[in-house]
C-alpha cells in the first residue's frame, strides 16, 4: 500500500506517495533524487544514512518515509548555502577529513548536531558522539580534527 | 626583476579537489546512478554452504507484478560465454583453475551462492520475487575447515579439481636450510593462526549495465579498481568485442582490494540488461557484502626458527596452509608474496618455505590491503617471543637483526636488494618518540594497582613499488602510462588508468603535474574512470605514488617540452630560452614577455601556427618506476588490558615511517591511519565467522564489528627523511603499510601487558573472551 | 535488505490503537521508535501483515512524577527521558542507563516502551525495569491490566503483552539514601551489552536496607540476582561483602554463549561487574547522604 505524504526537506515542501514499507533513506534517494544521503548497512549501525529530522539526528534507514510526514528534514544537500560550503564543511575540507567520501554525509550531519548541542565539547565527547558512524578509510582522526576546528572557528566568530 | 617561482605543491598538504563534491553530497557513486527504464536486480542465494541443486522453480516469481524477468543459473549460462574464472585466467593461477558456472547451476559452494537473478521495477520488488523462487537442494557434507579440506575424503567443491586442493603443495629453499638449523644454538617451534576477516568498504560492490542494441555497445557503470580490467572481463564473459564495451566509474566508496575485475553478479546483471534491452542495476547490500563478496587472511603457519644464543635470527622454515574459500580469487597467489617477503629487513641466512592452499565452503579469498601481511605478523610475533625467551628487549633483538644500509645494498635471501631501507632509523626514532624506560616505570606502578599496560612494536618493509628489478620495471603489474594534454582552455589534463577510491589521486597527481609543468594547481585536471578515455591501469599494490606520480612528473616535463616548442614558434624565441611558471610562458629574464598558457593553448587550437609548429599539445608517457624503492617503518602501541573483562584500549599509537618523498602529507597520513584502524579492528573486533558446518555467522554489522572513533586513538606519525634513490622520482607507496604492521604491533603490546600472567599469543584475533581464556590457560600452565 | 510488504495503520488515539490490535491480533506488530523493529523487517526476520504505528498518539508520550512514582508514556523518546529533569532526580538508575542505549541517533527515535516491549535481554532498559520492579500498564478491549516487571519478560524477545497496547511504565522513585550504578561490558561504545548490571543500594545508618541487582545479557530475559541481594540486605558495605555477593550472583546462573562471549566469559564478567557495580552504587549512596 502507498501513503500520500508531504514533508519539508531542506526548506522546501516535498510530496510523494511511497509504499508504506519504503524507508526514508530510499525515499530521499529514489523519489526526491537527493542521493547525498548514503545507504551503508540498512540495519541502523553504520550511520551513513544520518539526516536531521525536527532538529534531531536520525538514521534514515530506520524510519519509514511515511513516518516523516509533516516533519522538517535536513540532508547533506541542505547544509551549504549558495552552492558553497558551510563552516563545518569548510573546516573538514581544510582538515582533510575524508577519503572515499561514502561515510561523509552521515558524519557531517551527526557532527552538525553535535556542534549545535555541544559547541564546547571535548575530543572524548566528540568521539563518543561520532562512534555510531563508521568510516573505513580514515581512522577517524582527521574527521575529529575537522569538527574540532569548526568548533574553534565558531568560538572565534 | 626575476619573479619568484610559485610555492611548490609537491610536499604540501594541498586541499583536495575531491572534497567540495564529497562534503556536499554531490559525489556520484554507483547507487546514485539512475538511467531511464532502469531495472533492479536481486539474487536468490543458497542458505546452505554445500549442496547439489536439484531444481529451481521460478514460475511464481515470474508472476509477481513488478518482476520483469527471472533467470536461473542455467539460463544465465546460455546468455554468457562459459569459461574458467576470468581473473585467474588473466592473472595466472598457481593451481588448476576450477570450473564453475557464472551463477550456481548444479551445486552451491557457500552460504549466499547466487542461484538465480530476479530483475524487477525496484529492489524491493526484486527481493520479493527472490522469496518466491523455490530451490530444492540436496545437502553435501560441508568443508568447513582447512584440515578437512586436506583430507582426500572431503567432497571436492569443484569436480574438475578432484580434491579440495586449490594450490598444490610446493616447497622452496633459499640458502642452506639444513646446515643453518643444524648449527644453530636454539631452534624454536611455533604455530600461528591468522583469522579470517575482510575488506568491508562502506560502499559494497555494484554496477549499472546498459546495452544499446543498435550500436551493440555495452556500457557498465561500476565501482572497480581498474575500469580496463573490468572491461576485459565483461567483454570476455558476454562474448563482446573489446571495443563494444565501455566501463565507467565515478566516485567509489572504498575497496581495499575487493572491487577488482567484474563479479559473477555484475556479469549476470549485464547479461540480463542485454537480454531485456533495459539498464539493470545491482548494488549489493551489507548482508551480501559480508557473506559472499570475499574475505581474506585465513592462514596458519608452522614456523621453525634457528637462532643464536645472542639472538641472531639465522633461519626460518615455514609451512603455510591457506584457506582460499570457495570460488577462486586472489588467495592462490598469496603464498608466493609471503615467501618473497618473509625475510623482511632482517639478515636471514636461510629460508625454507612450503605452502598448500585449500578450497572450503566459505567466501572467496580476495585481495585485502596488504594480502601478504601475515609474513610481517608471524615474523614480528616470533621475534618478540624469542626475545623474551633469551632475555632480550624487543627493540634490542630487532636492532641486532636488522640489515644495515650498505652500498651496494644487502640482498634478501629471496632475491630483492634492500636498497635504501631505513628500518634501523625507524626503530630508533620510535624508541625516541616513546620513552620506553619511562613507560616501564609507569607499567610497574600500574601493575601494583592491578592495571595491565603493555607496549609493543613491530617493523616492516613493503615493496611500494620495490627496488628496481634487473632489466625490468620496478612496479608490480608493469609499466604505468599516462596521456597528458594541454587542452584548448589551457587546462593540463591528465588521463590516467588509476581508479581512485579514496586515494586522492585527483589532488596528488595534479600537484605533481602543476609543479612540473608550471601552472597553478587549479589549472590541472585529472581524468579517471572511463575505458574510452584512459589508458590501462590498476589502483592497487601501493603502486600509484611511484608509478603514477612518476609518470605524471615525467609526462608533465615531456608535455612542457612540447608546449615550449610550440610556443617558441609563436613567440619567435628559442625554446631553451623559455620557461613556464605560474601558468605563464615567458622568456627567461624578461617578465614582460609573459604569455598565459591559456593563450598558447587557444592559439594552438585556433590553428595559429606556422608549418613547422606541432600544435598537437599532447604526449603519451610511460614510466617503469625508476629506481623504485621500499617503503617501511616501525609502529609502536601502548595498550591497557582490563584483566577482568578482557577489554583492550589502545592508549597511544606511534609511527615512524619512510615512504620516500611525500606528495601530500595529509593524504599520506590519512592512508596510514586508515590502515592502522583496520589492523586494530582485525585484532580486537573483526572476524568473518563460520560455524563448524560452514554456516556464516557474521552477516550484519552487529556481528561483524568495525572499529569506531572510540576504538582508534590519535596516531602520531613522523616521516623519516628518505634516502633518495632516483634522480627524479622518489615518491613511494603507502597505502598498505598501516594494515600490514598494525596487527603485530597491537598483539605484541597485548602480550607485553599480560606478561605477569605468562601469556604467549600465537593468533591474531583477541576479543575480550579470548583474552580471559589466554589468562586462564597461562594460569593453569597450559 | 528491503522491507517486505505490510499494511499500515496510524491510529491517532489509544482507543483506535486498541481496536486495531484486537482486530489484527498476532498479524500485527506495533511500530514505535522502529529502532529494533525496522532492522528485523529489513532482514525479513519479522513478517507482520499489519504495522500499527503509534507515534501519532500524543497521550502516550511524557514523563510525570507523583506519589513517589515516575510514569513514563510508552512512546516517550529515549532522548526525552535522557534530558528529563524528573528522570535525573527521581530515577538515577534509568538516567545512568540511558546513555548506553546505542547512539544518539537511535535515542532520537527509540522509545522507552518500545524497548521494553521488544524485550531484548541484552538491552539496557529491561534490566533497569527489573531492578526497579517497574509496573507495565496495558490497555485492551478488556480494559486496563498491570503487569509487574518480574512477570513482564517471559522469554527471548517475548513479553506478557497480548494484543494489548503498552501505554505507560511506572517506576518507583529512588528513595532517600539510594545510590545506583549502571555498568556495561560491550564490544564497543554503544553496542548491545555482553553483560550489563543495573544496581541499586539503599543505605540507612550505614547499613544496606535494600539491594537490587539486575543483569542484562545473562539469560533469555533480564535476571535479578536474588541470592546476592538477600546476602547484602542488613550488612554494611565492604569489599569482602561485595566479592561474596559477586560469587553468589554468578554461582547458579547459566548465561548464553555466542559470537561475542562464551558462557564462562559472561560469568566472569558478571562477577566483576557485581563487585564494581556495588562499590559504585554504595559510593553514590554515601555521597548522596
Tell me the pLDDT tens digit for each residue of B92-101: 777 788 999 9
- Dihedrals φ, ψ of B565, to 5°? -60, -45
Q: What is the pLDDT of residue B473?
A: 60
- Which residue from A36, A96, A126 is facing B13, i.e. has the nearest CB? A96
Same domain (yes/no): C182, C240: yes
Residue B5 confidence (pLDDT): 42
Residue length, chain B? 782
Check whether B608 has a pLDDT greater than 90.
Answer: no
In this structure, the answer to whether residues B132 and B277 fall within a common structural domain is: yes
Residue at B331 is within a domain: no
Same domain? C131 vs C215? no
Torsion of CA A142, A144, A145, A146, to 10 degrees: 90
- Give the pLDDT score at B198: 98
CATH number (domain holding residue B636): 3.30.365.10
* pLDDT score at B477: 64
Chain C stretch 7-26, residues whose beta carbon is closer than 8 A to a beta carbon of chain A: 7-8, 10
β pairing state of C28-31 and C50-53: parallel
Q: Please report whether residue C2 resides in a domain.
A: no
Contact C105 A59 (CB under 8 A): yes
What is the structure's pLDDT at B780? 78
B578-581 and B107-108 strand pairing: unpaired
Domain-embedded: residue B363: no
- Domain containing C241 equals 178-287
Cα B536 to Cα B104, B230, B266: the distances in Å are 31, 11, 21
Determine the distance in angstroms separating the CA of C265 from the nearest CA of chain B, rounded to an integer: 6
Which residue(s) pair with B170 in the sheet? B355
The three-state secondary structure class of B446 is helix
DSSP letters spanning B126-161: HHHHHHH-EEEEEE-----SHHHHHSTTSPPSSTTT
| CATH assignment of the domain containing C278 | 3.30.390.50
Spatial separation of the C-alpha atoms in residues B239 and B241, rounded to whole Å: 7
- DSSP E strands, A42-84: 50-53, 56-59, 72-74
pLDDT at B3: 32
- On average, the pLDDT of chain B sits at 95
Residue among B202, B257, B710 with most chain A CBs within 10 A, to mutate = B202
Residues in chain B within 8 Å Cβ distance of A80 = 24
CB of B388 closer than 8 Å to CB of B190: no
B205: pLDDT confidence band, cut at 50, 70 and 90?
very high
Q: C259 vs B689: CB contact, 8 Å cut-off?
A: yes
Structure-derived torsion over alpha carbons of residues C23, C29, C31, C32, reported in degrees to the nearest 10: 90
Q: Is pLDDT at B122 greater than 90 in this prediction? A: yes
Residue B370 φ/ψ, nearest 5 degrees: 75, 60
Look at residue C91 and tell me if it is in a domain.
Answer: yes
Q: Does B651 contact A at CB distance below 8 Å?
A: no
Q: SS3 for B327? A: coil
Q: How many domains does chain B have?
A: 3
- pLDDT for position C59: 97
pLDDT at position C288 over 80:
no
Q: Do both C187 and C110 map to the same domain?
A: no
Beta-strand ranges (E) seen in B16-132 are 39-45, 51-57, 67-72, 107-108, 114-120
Residues of chain A positioned with their CB less than 8 A from the CB of C56: none
Q: Do the chains contact at A44 and C1, CB–CB below 8 Å?
A: no
Are C64 and C110 in the same domain?
yes
For the cut 70, the answer to whether the pLDDT of residue B409 exceeds it is yes
Q: Calculate what percentage of chain C has a pLDDT beyond 90.
A: 98
Contact B769 C185 (CB under 8 A): no
Judged against a pLDDT cut of 60, whether residue C122 lies above it is answered with: yes
Over range C212-235, report the average pLDDT: 98
Grid coordinates standing for C240? 569482602
Mean pLDDT on C170-182:
97
What is the C-alpha separation between B360 and B676, in angstroms, rounded?
Answer: 29
For residues B16 and C214, what is the distance between their CA atoms, to the nearest angstrom? 52
Whole-number Å distance between alpha carbons of B48 and B143? 12
Say whether residue A152 is in contact with chain B using an 8 A CB cutoff: no
Q: Do C190 and A131 touch (CB under 8 A)?
A: yes
Q: Is B285 on the interface with A (CB under 8 A)?
A: yes
Interval B360-369: pLDDT, tens: 999 999 999 9
- Please tell me the number of Cα atoms within 13 Å of C282 on its side-chain side: 20
With respect to residue B8, please indicate whether it lies within any of the assigned structural domains: no
Judgement on whether residues C21 and C99 belong to the same structural domain of the protein = no
Q: Which of B 258-297 lie inside 8 A of C, CB atoms?
A: 285-287
pLDDT at position B85, please? 82
CA–CA gap between residue B593 and residue B81 (Å, rounded): 62
Do C44 and C100 have their domain in common? no
Question: Contact B378/B389 with Cβ under 8 angstroms?
Answer: no
Same domain? C190 vs C101: no
The pLDDT tens digits for C34-79 are: 999 999 999 999 999 999 999 999 999 999 999 999 999 999 999 9
Do residues C182 and C165 both lie within one domain? no
Contact residues for B417 (Cβ-Cβ < 8 A; gap 6+) = B408, B409, B410, B411, B467
| B608 and B513 within one domain | yes
Q: Is residue C1 part of a domain?
A: no
- Determine the average pLDDT of the residues in B661-670: 97
Could you tell me if C199 and C148 lie in one domain?
A: no
Chains touching C, CB cut-off 8 Å, 3+ pairs? A, B
CB pairs under 8 A between A and C: 86
Each residue's pLDDT tens digit, B308-358 = 999 999 999 999 999 999 999 999 999 999 999 999 999 999 999 999 999
Identify which of B562, B544, B513, B542 has the alpha carbon closest to the alpha carbon of residue B623: B544
Q: How many domains does chain C have?
A: 3
CATH superfamily to which A87-156 belongs? [2Fe-2S]-binding domain (1.10.150.120)
pLDDT tens digits, B46-58: 999 999 999 999 9
Is the same domain home to C184 and C97?
Answer: no
> Looking at beta carbons, which residues of chain C come within 8 Å of B287?
1, 43
**Mean pLDDT, chain C, as a whole number?**
97
C41 interfaces chain B, CB cutoff of 8 Å:
no
Of C115, C146, C172, at which residue does a domain stop?
C172
Q: Quick one: which of B105, B101, B130 has its CA closest to B52?
A: B105
Q: Are C224 and C274 members of one domain?
A: yes
Chain B contact probe: residue of A80, A102, A105 with most B CBs at under 10 A: A102
Give me the residue label for grid cell 603514477.
Answer: B548
- Three-state secondary structure string covering B498-530: CCCCCCCHHHHHHHHHHHHHCCCHHHEEEECCE
Quick check: is B417 in a domain?
A: yes
Whether residues B110 and B229 fall in one domain: yes
* pLDDT at position B2: 30
Task: Report DSSP state, residue A29.
Answer: I
Q: Which residues in chain A have their CB less than 8 angstroms from residue C109's CB?
A: 56, 58-59, 62-63
Q: What is the DSSP string of C207-248?
A: EEEEEEEEEESSSSS-EE-HHHHHHHTTSPP-HHHHHHHHHH
pTM over 0.90: yes
Both C27 and C77 in a single domain?
A: no
Is A145 within 8 Å of chain B by CB?
no
- Which residue from B minimizes the CA distance to A101? B22
Q: Which residue in C10, C55, C103 is closest to A131 by CB distance?
A: C103
Which strand ranges, in their side-by-side order, compose the sheet holding C165-172? C63-66, C69-73, C165-172, C135-140, C143-148
> What's the rounded mean pLDDT across residues B500-514?
97
Residue B463: name the closest of B500, B501, B414, B496 by CA.
B414
Residue B86 binned pLDDT confidence (cut-offs 50, 70, 90):
confident
Nearest to C2 among B124, B647, B767 (CB): B124
Nearest residue in B to C3, CA atom: B124
The reply to whether A48 touches chain B by the CB within 8 Å rule is yes
Whether residue C185 lies within 8 A of chain B, CB to CB, comes out as yes
Report the DSSP beta bridge partners of residue C136: C147, C169
CB atoms B32 and A19 under 8 Å: no
Identify the residue whose cell numbers are 590502515: B675
Nearest to A104 among B23, B673, B712 (CB): B23
Does residue B568 carry a pLDDT above 70?
Answer: yes
User: Which segments of chain A belong to CATH 1.10.150.120?
Assistant: 87-156
| Containing structural domain, residue B58 | 33-140+205-252+259-291
Residue for grid cell 598558457:
B597
Q: Which residues contact B103 (CB under 8 A, 6 or more apart)?
A: B43, B71, B72, B73, B76, B77, B114, B115, B116, B117, B264, B268
In-domain check, residue C268: yes
Residue B727 grid cell: 634522480
> Cα–Cα distance between A79 and B49 in angstroms, integer?
47
Chain B residue numbers with beta carbons less than 8 Å from the beta carbon of C103 are none
The whole-number average pLDDT for the span B164-181 is 97
Q: What is the pLDDT of residue A50?
A: 98
Contacts of B68 (CB under 8 A, 6+ apart): B39, B119, B120, B121, B276, B278
Mean pLDDT of C239-266: 96
Residue C168 lies in a domain: yes
- Nearest-5° angle of CA B280, CA B284, CA B288? 140
> In this structure, what CATH number is given to the domain that contains residue C74?
3.30.465.10
C236 domain-assigned: yes
Among the ranges given (B220-224, B625-629, C148-152, C281-285), the one the predictor scored with the smallest mean pLDDT = B625-629
Last residue of a domain, one of C153, C172, C191: C172
C-alpha B387/C-alpha B393 separation (Å) is 6
Residues of A in contact with B706 (CB under 8 A): 46, 134, 136
How far, in Å, CA of C160 to CA of C117, rounded? Answer: 9
Omega into B465 within 30° of 0, i.e. cis? yes
Is pLDDT of B475 > 70? no
What does the pLDDT average to over B396-421? 95
Contact across the interface for C105 and A43, Cβ inside 8 Å: no
Note the pLDDT of residue C25. Answer: 93
Tell whether C45 is within 8 A of chain B (Cβ).
no
**Which residues in B lie closer than 8 A to residue C43 (C-beta atoms)?**
287, 700
The closest CB to that of B123, out of C2, C4, C265, belongs to C2
Contacts of C3 in chain A (CB under 8 A): 21-23
- The domain boundary residue, chosen from C172, C202, C233: C172
Q: Would you state the torsion angle of the CA atoms of residues B227, B232, B233, B237, taken in this order, to the nearest 10 degrees?
A: 140
Beta-carbon separation of B644 and C44 below 8 A: no
Q: What does the pLDDT average to over B550-566? A: 96
Position A13 pLDDT exceeds 50: yes
For residue B236, the domain's CATH number is 3.90.1170.50
Q: Does C194 map to a domain?
A: yes
| 3-state percent helix, strand, coil for chain A, nearest multiple of 5 | 40, 15, 45
In this predicted structure, what is the pLDDT of residue B609?
Answer: 76
What is the arithmetic mean of pLDDT over A29-58? 98
- Across the range B752-771, mean pLDDT stands at 98
Instruction: Give the CATH number of domain A5-78.
Output: 3.10.20.30
Interchain contact C42–A (C-beta under 8 A): yes
Enumerate the residues of chain C whose CB falls inside 8 A of the CB of residue A67. Answer: 34, 53, 55
Q: What is the mean pLDDT of residues B594-623?
A: 88
Cβ-nearest to C261 among B689, B711, B769: B769
B-contacting residues in A 114-133 (Cβ below 8 Å): 126-128, 130-133
Q: Do B699 and B757 share a domain, yes or no?
A: yes
User: How far lies B166's CA from each of B170, B330, B338, B371, in Å?
Assistant: 12, 11, 17, 17
Q: List CB contacts (< 8 A) between C2 and chain A.
A: 21, 26, 42
Tell me: do B644 and B742 sit in the same domain: yes
Give the integer Cα–Cα distance in Å for B463 and B629.
Answer: 7
H/E run at residue B429: helix B423-433
User: Which residues from B are below 8 Å from A75, CB to CB?
Assistant: 25
Residue B451 sits in the same domain as residue B541? no
Is C53 near chain A, with CB under 8 Å?
yes
CB contact under 8 A, A23 and C38: yes
Reply yes or no on whether the pLDDT at B124 is more than 80: yes
**H or E segment to which residue B173 belongs:** strand B165-174
b or e along B536-573 (b: 16 or more beta carbons within 10 Å of the residue's beta carbon)? Answer: bbbbbbbbbbbbbbbbbbbbbbbbbebbbebbbbbbeb
Distances in Å between the Cα of A62 and the Cα atoms of A68, A107, A135, C41 are 11, 17, 19, 10
- Give contacts of B23 with chain A, Cβ < 8 Å: 85, 89, 92-93, 98, 104, 108
- Whole-number pLDDT of residue B476: 57
Q: Are residues B488 and B615 in the same domain?
A: yes
What's the pLDDT band for B471 if we cut at 50, 70, 90?
Answer: low
Q: Which chains touch B (3 or more CB pairs under 8 A)?
A: A, C
Amino acid at each position: 500500500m502507498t501513503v500520500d505524504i508531504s514533508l519539508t526537506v531542506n526548506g522546501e515542501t516535498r510530496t510523494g506517495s511511497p509504499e508504506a514499507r519504503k524507508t526514508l533513506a530510499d525515499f530521499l534517494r529514489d523519489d526526491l533524487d537527493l542521493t547525498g544521503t548514503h545507504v551503508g548497512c540498512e540495519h541502523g549501525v553504520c550511520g551513513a544514512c544520518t539526516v536531521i529530522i525536527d532538529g534531531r539526528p536520525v538514521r534514515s534507514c530506520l524510519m519509514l518515509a511515511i513516518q516523516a510526514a509533516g516533519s522538517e528534514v535536513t540532508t547533506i544537500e541542505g547544509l551549504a548555502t549558495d552552492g558553497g560550503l558551510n563552516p563545518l564543511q569548510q573546516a573538514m575540507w581544510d582538515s582533510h577529513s575524508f577519503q572515499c567520501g561514502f561515510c561523509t554525509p552521515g558524519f557531517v550531519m551527526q557532527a552538525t548536531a553535535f556542534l549545535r548541542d555541544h559547541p564546547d565539547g571535548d575530543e572524548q565527547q566528540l568521539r563518543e558522539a561520532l562512534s555510531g558512524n563508521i568510516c573505513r578509510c580514515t581512522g577517524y582522526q582527521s574527521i575529529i580534527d575537522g569538527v574540532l576546528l569548526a568548533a574553534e572557528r565558531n568560538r572565534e566568530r | 626583476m626575476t619573479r619568484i617561482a610559485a610555492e611548490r605543491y609537491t610536499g604540501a598538504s594541498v586541499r583536495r579537489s575531491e572534497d567540495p563534491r564529497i562534503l556536499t553530497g554531490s559525489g556520484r557513486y554507483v547507487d546514485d546512478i539512475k538511467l531511464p527504464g532502469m531495472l533492479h536486480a536481486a539474487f536468490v542465494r543458497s542458505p546452505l554452504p554445500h549442496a547439489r541443486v536439484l531444481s529451481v522453480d521460478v514460475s511464481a516469481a515470474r508472476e509477481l507484478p513488478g518482476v520483469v524477468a527471472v533467470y536461473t543459473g542455467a539460463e544465465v549460462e546460455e546468455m554468457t560465454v562459459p569459461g574458467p574464472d576470468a581473473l585467474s585466467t588473466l592473472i595466472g593461477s598457481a593451481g588448476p583453475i576450477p570450473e564453475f558456472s557464472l551463477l550456481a547451476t548444479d551445486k552451491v559452494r557457500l552460504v549466499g551462492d547466487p542461484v538465480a537473478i530476479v530483475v524487477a521495477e525496484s529492489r524491493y520488488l526484486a527481493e520479493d520475487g527472490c522469496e518466491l523462487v523455490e530451490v530444492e537442494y540436496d545437502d553435501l557434507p560441508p568443508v568447513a575447515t582447512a584440515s578437512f579440506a586436506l583430507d582426500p575424503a572431503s567432497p571436492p567443491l569443484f569436480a574438475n579439481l578432484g580434491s579440495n586442493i586449490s594450490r598444490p603443495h610446493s616447497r622452496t629453499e633459499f640458502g642452506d636450510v639444513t646446515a643453518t638449523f643444524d648449527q644453530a644454538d636454539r631452534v624454536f617451534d611455533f604455530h600461528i593462526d591468522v583469522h579470517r576477516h575482510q575488506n568491508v568498504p562502506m560502499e559494497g560492490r555494484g554496477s549499472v549495465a546498459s546495452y544499446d542494441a543498435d550500436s551493440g555497445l555495452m556500457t557498465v557503470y561500476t565501482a572497480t579498481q581498474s575500469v580496463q580490467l573490468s572491461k576485459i572481463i565483461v567483454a570476455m564473459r558476454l562474448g563482446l568485442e573489446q571495443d563494444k564495451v565501455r566501463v565507467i566509474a565515478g566516485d567509489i566508496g572504498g575497496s581495499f582490494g575487493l572491487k577488482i575485475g567484474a563479479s559473477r553478479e555484475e556479469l549476470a546483471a549485464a547479461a540480463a540488461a542485454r537480454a531485456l534491452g533495459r539498464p539493470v542495476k545491482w548494488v549489493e547490500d551489507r548482508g551480501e557484502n559480508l557473506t559472499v563478496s570475499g574475505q581474506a587472511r585465513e592462514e596458519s603457519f608452522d614456523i621453525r626458527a634457528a637462532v643464536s644464543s645472542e639472538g641472531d635470527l639465522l633461519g626460518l622454515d615455514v609451512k603455510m596452509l591457506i584457506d582460499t574459500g570457495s570460488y577462486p580469487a586472489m588467495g592462490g597467489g598469496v603464498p608466493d608474496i609471503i615467501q618473497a617477503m618473509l625475510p623482511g629487513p632482517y639478515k636471514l641466512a636461510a629460508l625454507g618455505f612450503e605452502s598448500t592452499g585449500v578450497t572450503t565452503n566459505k567466501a572467496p579469498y580476495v585481495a585485502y590491503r596488504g594480502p601478504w601481511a601475515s609474513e610481517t605478523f608471524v615474523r614480528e610475533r616470533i621475534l618478540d617471543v624469542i626475545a623474551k625467551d633469551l632475555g632480550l628487549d624487543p627493540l634490542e633483538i630487532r636492532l641486532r637483526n636488522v640489515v644495515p644500509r650498505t652500498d651496494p645494498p644487502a640482498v634478501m635471501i629471496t632475491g630483492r636488494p634492500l636498497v635504501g631501507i631505513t628500518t634501523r632509523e625507524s626503530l630508533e626514532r620510535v624508541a625516541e618518540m616513546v620513552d620506553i624506560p619511562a613507560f616501564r616505570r609507569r607499567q610497574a606502578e600500574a601493575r601494583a594497582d592491578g592495571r595491565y599496560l603493555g607496549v609493543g612494536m613491530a617493523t616492516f618493509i613493503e615493496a611500494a613499488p620495490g627496488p628496481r628489478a634487473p632489466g625490468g620495471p620496478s612496479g608490480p603489474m608493469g609499466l604505468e602510462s599516462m596521456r597528458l594534454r594541454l587542452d584548448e582552455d589551457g587546462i593540463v589534463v591528465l588521463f590516467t588508468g588509476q581508479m581512485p577510491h579514496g586515494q586522492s589521486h585527483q589532488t596528488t597527481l595534479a600537484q605533481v603535474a602543476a609543479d612540473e609543468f608550471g601552472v597553478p594547481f587549479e589549472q590541472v585536471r585529472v581524468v579517471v574512470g572511463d575505458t574510452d578515455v584512459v589508458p590501462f591501469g590498476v589502483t592497487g599494490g601501493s603502486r600509484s605514488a611511484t608509478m603514477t606520480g612518476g609518470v605524471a612528473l615525467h609526462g608533465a616535463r615531456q608535455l612542457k617540452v612540447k608546449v615550449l616548442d610550440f610556443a617558441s614558434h609563436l613567440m619567435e624565441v628559442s625554446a631553451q630560452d623559455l620557461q613556464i611558471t605560474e601558468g605563464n610562458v615567458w622568456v627567461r629574464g624578461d617578465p614582460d614577455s609573459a604569455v598565459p598558457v591559456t593563450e598558447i593553448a587557444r592559439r594552438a587550437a585556433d590553428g595559429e601556427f606556422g608549418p613547422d609548429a606541432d600544435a598537437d599539445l599532447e604526449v603519451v608517457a610511460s614510466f617503469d618506476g625508476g629506481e623504485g624503492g621500499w617503503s617501511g617503518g616501525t609502529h609502536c602501541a601502548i595498550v591497557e588490558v582490563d584483566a577482568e573483562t578482557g577489554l583492550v584500549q589502545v592508549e597511544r599509537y606511534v609511527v615512524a615511517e619512510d615512504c620516500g618523498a611525500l606528495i601530500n602529507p595529509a593524504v599520506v597520513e590519512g592512508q596510514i591511519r586508515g590502515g592502522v584502524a583496520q589492523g586494530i579492528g582485525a585484532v580486537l573486533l573483526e572476524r568473518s565467522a563460520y560455524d563448524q558446518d560452514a554456516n556464516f555467522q557474521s552477516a550484519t554489522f552487529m556481528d561483524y564489528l568495525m572499529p569506531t572513533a572510540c576504538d582508534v586513538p590519535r596516531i602520531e606519525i613522523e616521516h623519516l627523511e628518505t634516502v633518495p634513490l632516483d634522480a627524479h622520482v622518489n615518491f613511494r607507496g603507502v597505502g598498505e603499510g598501516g594494515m600490514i604492521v598494525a596487527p603485530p604491533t597491537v598483539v605484541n603490546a597485548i602480550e607485553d601487558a599480560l606478561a605477569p600472567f605468562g601469556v604467549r599469543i600465537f593468533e591474531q584475533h583477541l576479543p575480550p573472551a579470548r583474552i580471559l581464556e589466554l589468562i586462564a590457560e597461562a594460569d593453569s600452565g597450559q | 535488505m528491503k522491507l517486505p510488504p505490510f499494511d499500515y495503520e496510524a491510529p491517532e488515539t489509544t482507543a483506535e490503537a486498541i481496536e486495531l490490535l484486537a482486530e489484527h491480533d498476532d498479524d500485527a506488530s506495533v511500530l514505535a521508535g522502529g529502532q529494533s523493529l525496522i532492522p528485523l523487517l529489513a532482514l525479513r526476520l519479522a513478517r507482520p501483515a499489519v504495522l500499527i504505528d503509534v507515534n501519532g498518539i500524543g497521550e502516550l508520550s511524557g514523563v510525570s512524577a507523583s506519589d513517589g512514582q515516575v510514569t513514563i508514556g510508552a512512546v516517550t523518546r529515549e532522548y526525552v527521558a535522557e534530558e528529563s529533569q524528573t528522570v535525573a532526580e527521581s530515577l538515577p538508575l534509568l538516567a545512568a542507563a540511558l546513555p548506553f542505549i546505542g547512539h544518539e541517533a537511535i535515542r532520537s527515535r527509540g522509545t522507552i516502551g518500545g524497548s521494553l516491549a521488544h524485550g531484548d535481554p541484552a538491552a539496557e532498559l529491561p534490566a533497569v525495569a527489573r531492578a526497579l520492579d517497574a509496573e507495565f500498564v496495558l490497555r485492551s478491549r478488556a480494559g486496563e491490566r498491570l503487569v509487574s516487571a518480574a512477570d513482564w519478560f517471559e522469554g527471548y524477545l517475548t513479553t506478557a503483552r497480548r494484543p494489548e497496547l503498552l501505554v505507560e511504565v511506572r517506576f518507583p522513585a529512588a528513595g532517600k539514601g539510594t545510590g545506583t550504578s549502571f555498568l556495561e561490558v560491550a564490544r564497543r561504545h554503544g553496542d548491545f551489552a555482553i553483560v550489563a548490571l543495573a544496581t541499586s543500594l539503599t543505605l540507612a545508618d550505614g547499613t544496606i536496607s535494600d539491594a537490587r541487582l539486575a543483569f542484562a545479557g545473562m539469560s533469555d530475559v533480564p535476571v535479578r540476582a536474588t541470592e546476592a541481594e538477600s546476602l547484602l540486605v542488613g550488612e554494611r558495605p565492604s569489599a569482602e561483602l561485595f566479592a561474596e555477593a559477586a560469587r553468589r550472583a554468578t554461582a547458579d546462573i547459566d548465561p548464553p554463549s555466542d559470537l561475542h562471549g562464551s558462557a564462562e566469559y559472561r560469568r566472569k564478567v558478571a562477577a566483576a561487574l557485581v563487585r564494581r557495580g556495588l562499590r559504585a552504587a554504595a559510593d553514590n549512596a554515601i555521597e548522596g547522604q
